[in-house]
A and B are shown apart, each in its own frame.
Chain A
Amino acid sequence: MIDTLIQVVGAADARLEMSPVDYALLFVYFIFVLGIGIVVRRSVKSSLDFFLSGRSIPAWIAGLAFISANLGAVEILGFAANGAQYGFASVHYYWIGAIPAMVFLGIVMMPFYYGSKIRSVPEYLRRRYNKPTHLVNASSFAVSSVLIAGVNLYSLAIVLVALLGWSLPLAIVVAALLVLVYVVAGGLTGAIYNEVLQFFVIIAGLIPLTIVAVAAAGGPQEVLHRLADYPSYWLHPWSGTAVGGDNPIGDWIGIILGQAFILSFGYWTTNFAEVQRALSARNLSSARRAPIIGAYPKIFIPFIVILPGIVAALIIPDLGTSEDPQMTYTNAIPLLMDTLLPNGVLGVAVTGLVAAFMAGMAANVSSFNAVFTYDIWQTYVKKNRPDHYYLKFGRWITVIGVAIGIGTAFIAASYNNINDYLQTLFSFFQAPVFVTFILGMFWKRMSPWAGFYGMVSGIVAAAGVWVAGATHPDLFRSPFQQAMWMGIAAAVVDLIVSLIVTPLTKPRPISELVGLVKGMEIRDAAADAKPVRWYKQPVVLGGGAITLALAMYIPFTFL
């Protein structure tokens, strides 16, 4: 996905006609980003302040940061491309993928994460299982975060190059320095505040773009009318999802089991870049609500990401079929911006895209420095130092992380394919983790070595399916379907190995599992005594989000 983006935006001269007003808006945004970093610096007095915002963030901010950390420009351009190529078929990623996973994190898993006062997701594995399990997860996360930060940085730079006409090295360094300043100064709070600001700016850019695009296509009725000429899954996301059907996203088994219950749950509930945002909340109740609050706006994101992509396919005749390197699906949103937006809103939309890339990179950097400092340095290298040592170390490792990111960005500029290989490699590590976490939380007997062998064999299984797909290209309908089956294989193998190894190895003593497993949650007596208003209860809020997400399918059945 990133790879296509790079080829497209990099090769073509898609220079937007930016006026001084548009540049002024972008400049004002940069001032705010830096200003926020510097102002929140005074709230950073301990390592916990730096890495987890001192667990002081209100639920709504943590919730918006939770989705914003993921709503990077790669997702925005990528799902617009999916819309232009497949219509609404990829909406499952949101409505039965992300939303239920976010609600599940809030209702089921957050009490273990937040209640046990772990400071990172890998730290849960260390306390629940053993150091080898922890080390595999922590080091693969740290390496992938810092390299993906570099890829994000490169993607941001080529947007600056192509849209604004900057030179590539200048764009890479300026973008990296902006992120560096606000993360080093403000730590996680700096990153989170800017993510929420970015959320509103990207929305303020994409809603006007969608409205104008639909108007340009002749209005909503005309859009529906013209979609009748396309395959039925363009409007009916469940169409063609029978086993052997024509839906490019895959069959219903792959969508429900692979996409929803394994890949989405794995990503949203165990990726530390996400979970870190919820852990920053000021108390358990806020931490549980954060991902659920984020779920509500997430339900509507397809209408400003996938829909403009669909409309782009209708009103830009050569999109995706032309030889012109500018006319690829990934370029749908930049092309619409160029064609439709007048100066003013154009500046807001460009600022939103740039902001989305910066937020994506900052999310990688701010989760990398926490895992590297707490899980690698403090756990294996320099133990028992005073807290200010780790705070200072965290700031330096942020500088080093950004420097590695800059290096990765320059490498990516020479070897485009490296991005796709990195994404594939890291997907092996992501896939089996969810099973290991959920077994650990709900099965007291599950032994530390079962955690280790289950996870490692799941990684091998995911890699095996990838190799099968690479050597037999006709095995899967699309990369989506391949990813789903990699997830399913990893989960099933992880489960089986865990069930076999557990009876053969020693369990962890019960006394070490306090706060980490079902039935041994740490309850906060003071918070329990305080009545929570009904609309603030995670089960009520979460049930509402899932119901709303599933209800979104209804109009698509009758259209």
Chain B
Amino acid sequence: MSDDAPTGYPADAPPMTMRQARMLDLRTYICALFAIFGVTVTIEGFTVDSQELAKAAGVNINLYAGLAMLGLSVVMGVWAVVVPPSLPDPAADAAVSEVG
């Protein structure tokens, strides 16, 4: 990125800390939301009754969907830890390998 490229952080602003960068990391939010959704829906799957099962054509869809959402949550969480967000520093930006 060239030096005159506009970034989110004007030169006079204090540099962003890693803690702040993690607060702005979308993967954290996807991980948290799907942890909540996944646990809730999986519990519904474990407590399924025959009427609910019949409604969904015999598929215990809450169980499978809940576990799949927990899987997504884990993937996002692990990804966020293993590949931390890069700090928005134009000089470093060119050097840090980017997520994606």
A525 to B68, CA, bound (A): 44
When distances are taken between beta carbons in the complex, the residues of chain B under 8 Å from A132 are none
Q: Say whether B81 faces chain A, with CB atoms less than 8 Å apart.
A: no
A338 nearest CB neighbor, chain B only: B55
Whether B37 pairs with A25 at a CB distance below 8 angstroms is yes
- Shortest distance between the CB of B17 and any CB in chain A (Å): 12
A384 to B41, CA, bound (A): 54
- Shortest distance between the CB of A530 and any CB in chain B (Å): 6
Q: Count A-B pairs with CB separation below 8 Å.
A: 150
* Chain A 189-222 residues near chain B, CB threshold 8 A: 193, 196-197, 200-201, 204, 207-208, 211-212, 215-216
Whether A54 pairs with B9 at a CB distance below 8 angstroms is yes
Q: Say whether B78 faces chain A, with CB atoms less than 8 Å apart.
A: no
Whether A39 pairs with B66 at a CB distance below 8 angstroms is no
- Shortest distance between the CB of A538 and any CB in chain B (Å): 13
Q: Say whether A55 faces chain B, with CB atoms less than 8 Å apart.
A: yes
Whether A24 pairs with B61 at a CB distance below 8 angstroms is no
A200 to B69, CA, bound (A): 9
Whether B23 pairs with A39 at a CB distance below 8 angstroms is yes
Which of A68-76, A342-350, A374-382 touches B? A342-350
Whether A58 pairs with B8 at a CB distance below 8 angstroms is no
Given A21-B44, A286-B100, A345-B65, also A216-B7 (CB < 8 A): no
A212 to B56, CA, bound (A): 6
B26 nearest CB neighbor, chain A only: A193
Given A21-B44, A56-B88, also A282-B98 (CB < 8 A): yes
Across the interface, B1 reaches (CB within 8 A) one of A24, A46, A59, A527, namely A527
Across the interface, B72 reaches (CB within 8 A) one of A45, A56, A200, A211, namely A200
Whether B40 pairs with A24 at a CB distance below 8 angstroms is yes
A289 to B100, CA, bound (A): 9
Whether B7 pairs with A208 at a CB distance below 8 angstroms is no
B69 nearest CB neighbor, chain A only: A204
When distances are taken between beta carbons in the complex, the residues of chain B under 8 Å from A55 are 5-8
Q: Contact mask B54-73 → A, CB, 8 Å, 1/0?
A: 01111101101110110010
Whether A283 pairs with B61 at a CB distance below 8 angstroms is no
Q: Say whether B82 faces chain A, with CB atoms less than 8 Å apart.
A: no
When distances are taken between beta carbons in the complex, the residues of chain B under 8 Å from A539 are none
Whether A283 pairs with B1 at a CB distance below 8 angstroms is yes
A527 to B94, CA, bound (A): 7
A24 to B20, CA, bound (A): 29
A24 to B45, CA, bound (A): 16
* Chain A 322-338 residues near chain B, CB threshold 8 A: none
Interface size for A (C-beta < 8 A) is 57
Identify the interface centre among B32, B33, B94: most chain A CB within 10 Å of its CB: B33
Across the interface, A340 reaches (CB within 8 A) one of B6, B23, B57, namely B57
Whether B44 pairs with A342 at a CB distance below 8 angstroms is yes
Q: Say whether A416 faces chain B, with CB atoms less than 8 Å apart.
A: no
- Shortest distance between the CB of A67 and any CB in chain B (Å): 15
Q: Contact mask B10-46 → A, CB, 8 Å, 1/0?
A: 1001000000100110100110111011001100110
Whether A342 pairs with B26 at a CB distance below 8 angstroms is no
Whether A526 pairs with B94 at a CB distance below 8 angstroms is yes
When distances are taken between beta carbons in the complex, the residues of chain A under 8 Å from B59 are 211-212, 215
Which of A28-36, A97-105, A228-236 touches B? A28-36
Overall SS of chain B's interface = helix
- Shortest distance between the CB of B96 and any CB in chain A (Å): 10
A204 nearest CB neighbor, chain B only: B69
Q: Say whether A60 faces chain B, with CB atoms less than 8 Å apart.
A: yes
Whether A21 pairs with B40 at a CB distance below 8 angstroms is yes
When distances are taken between beta carbons in the complex, the residues of chain B under 8 Å from A58 are 98-100
Whether B61 pairs with A341 at a CB distance below 8 angstroms is yes
- Shortest distance between the CB of A542 and any CB in chain B (Å): 15
When distances are taken between beta carbons in the complex, the residues of chain B under 8 Å from A207 are 65, 68
Q: Say whether A385 faces chain B, with CB atoms less than 8 Å apart.
A: no
- Shortest distance between the CB of B93 and any CB in chain A (Å): 7
Q: Say whether A488 faces chain B, with CB atoms less than 8 Å apart.
A: no
Whether A45 pairs with B33 at a CB distance below 8 angstroms is no
Q: Say whether A43 faces chain B, with CB atoms less than 8 Å apart.
A: yes
Identify the interface centre among B62, B88, B100: most chain A CB within 10 Å of its CB: B100
When distances are taken between beta carbons in the complex, the residues of chain A under 8 Å from B52 are 342-343
- Shortest distance between the CB of A272 and any CB in chain B (Å): 18
- Shortest distance between the CB of B45 and any CB in chain A (Å): 7
- Shortest distance between the CB of B7 and any CB in chain A (Å): 6
Whether A197 pairs with B100 at a CB distance below 8 angstroms is no
Q: Say whether A48 faces chain B, with CB atoms less than 8 Å apart.
A: yes
When distances are taken between beta carbons in the complex, the residues of chain A under 8 Å from B53 are 342
A384 to B82, CA, bound (A): 45
- Shortest distance between the CB of B82 and any CB in chain A (Å): 15
A286 to B53, CA, bound (A): 45
Whether A348 pairs with B7 at a CB distance below 8 angstroms is no
- Shortest distance between the CB of A336 and any CB in chain B (Å): 11
- Shortest distance between the CB of B10 and any CB in chain A (Å): 6
Known: A212-B59, A344-B41. 18 other contacts (CB 8 A): A21-B40, A24-B40, A32-B33, A42-B20, A43-B24, A54-B7, A55-B8, A58-B99, A197-B33, A201-B37, A204-B65, A204-B69, A208-B65, A286-B100, A289-B100, A340-B57, A342-B53, A524-B2
Residues of A within 8 A of B (CB): 21, 24-25, 28-29, 32, 35-36, 39-40, 42-43, 45-46, 48-49, 53-56, 58-61, 63, 117, 193, 196-197, 200-201, 204, 207-208, 211-212, 215-216, 282-283, 286, 289, 293, 339-345, 347-348, 524-527, 530
Residues of B within 8 A of A (CB): 1-2, 5-10, 13, 20, 23-24, 26, 29-30, 32-34, 36-37, 40-41, 44-45, 48, 52-53, 55-59, 61-62, 64-66, 68-69, 72, 88, 93-94, 98-100
| Residue contacts A-B, CB under 8 angstroms, 11 given | A32-B32, A45-B10, A211-B64, A212-B57, A212-B61, A215-B57, A215-B59, A216-B56, A283-B1, A342-B48, A345-B41
Which 5 residue pairs across A and B have the least CB separation, nearest first? Answer: A54-B8, A344-B44, A59-B100, A216-B57, A60-B100
